[in-house]
Chains A and B, each alone.
Chain A
Amino acid sequence: MEDRGTDMKSANFSRSLYRSLRPISPLGTGKITLSRIAFTLFCLLIFDFFPIPLSAAGNEVIPDSGARVYVREHPQTGKPFVTLRAGEVARDPFRDFRKREIRPDYRMLETDAKGVPYYGPVSDRKKVYIFAASMITLGAAGAVVTAALPVTAAAGAGSTGTGMLAGGAVVANAVAADIVLESRIKPGEEHYVHDAKTESASGVPERITFREALRRADPSQ
């Protein structure tokens, strides 16, 4: 009974809301007059200048970074990838790109070089666009800009994603030990030596800029 009462209440509320909205609807069954068209245009202008945020501001934990999600195409492979950029309009990171090249065969540097068949990567556009969409969901106020050199059309999308944000905001801090790693990958086979040193940081996360973080990691900066 209680549930039915609630249903009735909501039904009544919906009906009253519909009634209250009907007279101001210019696209309703009523007569389309000049004043209604003017009113609609006025509303469109107002909402365009002062858009209603799609994300829930009440329980928003992380402020909007102002960064936007872009999908770019790798000039050599044609494989799309996701980029983030804050501030001004994205510039082309491959502006000096000339033409696509064939994958080099390093055996040509040896004396007895022979041709090797191509087993290169296969472009999977669908996958990267799904990833970009998930990034936008996390971003809560982002927009996809398809950047196929040069950057062109944009299609916006947004949602809350606070739960994921809250989950993603878990911080890995207070690592005590320092690790030193030195490794040689296949000595004799590879033409390089790989030395790596890991120095773990400790302490409570604080609000710092990238430059400050870099200065702390490398005081010579």
Chain B
Amino acid sequence: MKTARSLFVVLGVLVFSGCATLFGWDIRAPGVLSRRFYEHVHPESQRVGVYLDPALHGMISTNKGGRFADPQTYHIGDAYLPMAIEAFQQGFTEFVLIESEPTQEMLRQYAIPYLVYIKPGAFGNDVTLKGQAISFETEAFVFDQDLGFLDRFRTTGSSDSKKVFAKKGGPQVNLNAALENNIESVVLHIQDAARSGRWKIGGQT
């Protein structure tokens, strides 16, 4: 009777705890940019304020990317936040992270010409027998000092690789690459717009 009871308890724990917790992959990207980023992105002489959506903090995805794939938990927010900050630090000479909801007064007081707001989008995961393709989508809004809308763009960073789960650190690095590609595109887009004067009056610098 006692044995049956303990067996029932063990089975109950297994059922209610979720496979991802016990058997799945807990994937945490290194959360640091690669050397490649520093080769591609050079600092732009511009003051930029960045407000990251609070939903990014601690954002996770349990998208396992296939019916027969092992359960996976991706810690996206923990990696994306430090990477985004590092990317903007490298991309702009005067980078200001805005931690609370921005106001017109705040932007005017500190003479921040452009406010970039980044919010998370879909996280894609496609696990096949050959490999894994990961993608992360974000949407960025750009406002001027008076919170006037300037620009809006959607960016998807992805990384597609073979035999990811067979390599030590494979899924972690694959996730890191997808996040980095996303951030790199965002920074390059803003740099290009600021450099070309696309956001200024009549498109003049």
Contacts and interface: CB of A to CB of B under 8 A. Distances in A.
B is bound to A: yes
A62 B174 CA distance: 47
Contacts of A172: 113, 144-145, 148, 150, 199-201
Nearest to A173: B148
B141 A94 contact: no
Contact of A168 (B90, B108, B143, B159): B108
A198 B198 contact: yes
Interface stretch (A8-16, A21-29, A43-51, A77-85): A77-85
Interface stretch (B11-19, B27-35, B63-71): B27-35
B38 A203 contact: no
Interface string A109-136: 1010000101111000000000100010
For chain B, give the interface size range: 35 or more
Nearest to A100: B32
Interface string B182-205: 101100110001000011111100
A90 B95 contact: no
The DSSP consensus for interface residues of chain B is mixed
A138 to B, nearest CB: 5
Nearest to A101: B30
A63 B154 CA distance: 34
A219 to B, nearest CB: 11
B68 to A, nearest CB: 22
B99 A93 contact: yes
Contact of A96 (B58, B108, B193): B58
A94 B82 CA distance: 8
Interface of A: 62-67, 69-70, 72, 74-77, 79, 81-87, 90-91, 93-94, 96-98, 100-106, 108-109, 111, 116, 118-121, 131, 135, 138-140, 164-165, 167-169, 171-177, 179, 181, 185, 190-201, 203, 205-214, 216-218
Interface of B: 28, 30-36, 38, 49, 51, 57-58, 78, 81-82, 85-86, 89-90, 94-106, 108-111, 113, 117, 139, 141, 143-162, 164, 167, 169-170, 172-174, 176-178, 181-182, 184-185, 188-189, 193, 198-203
